[in-house]
């Protein structure tokens, strides 16, 4: 409320996403579904909130050849897992395994899945024998989280494409397990890139779904700045 007209909006990271949700006077559907806002658009006398993390997950999956998902897996049960669940639902997932150290902590994610029409089950991280075969895995564990070799290999053997939300340290033990089997493993930088493009859409067009003029050129420049590609 103290910002002047020179501010178009704000890009927000944890732990500000719930505070941003509360500050928004209008929220897009993805924000409402997750209770999380990472983009605030200012002006017109209204603070508008958006969740571009979900679109970031979808963009990263598409870049790794995943456009449709039937069975999927989320590793972790924190705030980022909620956005991952919505992304997988939008990608067509019918069933999702939520892998957590403490399965009881996954209950909010399972409830969110039910509201999205997705059948979800919680499985302990070390209960390798219960892991099913999935098309894609989204890992939402914090950077530096220790995953046992048995769990990492079990997740990789059945996990399809891996999108790991961690930026650093990289590669994670989970990513190493996937690449050792010749499976794609993308870091959180790819998700960050695609969600940031959607933020630019919001700031320029006031619409997360409205492509930018010369968007391919803009995305390439953003990729080069972020990844050095």
Query: Would you please indicate which residues are annotated as catalytic (active-site) residues?
Result: 17
SS (H, E, C) 77-101: CCHHHHHHHHHHHHCCCCEEEEEEC
Nearest CA among 176, 124, 174, 183 for reference residue 152: 174
134 bridge partner residues: none
Across the strands, what pairs with 162?
Answer: 137, 185
Q: How far apart are CA 5 and CA 27, in angstroms?
A: 21
18: number of CA atoms within 13 Å, CB side? 5
């Amino acid at each position: 409320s103290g910002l002047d007209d020179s501010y178009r909006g704000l890009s927000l990271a944890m732990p500000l996403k719930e505070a941003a949700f509360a500050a928004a006077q209008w929220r897009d559907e993805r924000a409402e579904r997750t209770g999380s806002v990472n983009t605030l658009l200012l002006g017109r006398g209204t603070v508008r909130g958006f969740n571009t993390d979900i679109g970031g997950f979808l963009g990263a999956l598409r870049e790794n050849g995943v456009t449709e998902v039937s069975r999927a897996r989320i590793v972790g049960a924190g705030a980022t897992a909620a956005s991952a669940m919505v992304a997988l639902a939008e990608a067509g997932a019918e069933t999702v395994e939520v892998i957590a150290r403490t399965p009881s902590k996954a209950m909010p994610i399972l409830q969110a899945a039910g509201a999205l029409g997705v059948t979800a089950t919680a499985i302990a991280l070390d209960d390798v024998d219960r892991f099913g075969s999935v098309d894609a895995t989204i890992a939402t564990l914090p950077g530096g989280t220790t995953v046992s070799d048995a769990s990492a290999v079990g997740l990789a053997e059945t996990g399809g494409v891996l999108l790991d939300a961690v930026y650093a340290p990289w590669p994670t033990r989970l990513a190493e397990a996937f690449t050792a089997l010749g499976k794609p493993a993308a870091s959180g930088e790819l998700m960050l890139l695609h969600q940031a493009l959607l933020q630019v859409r919001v700031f320029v067009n006031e619409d997360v779904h409205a492509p930018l003029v010369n968007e391919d050129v803009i995305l390439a420049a953003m990729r080069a700045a972020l990844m050095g590609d």
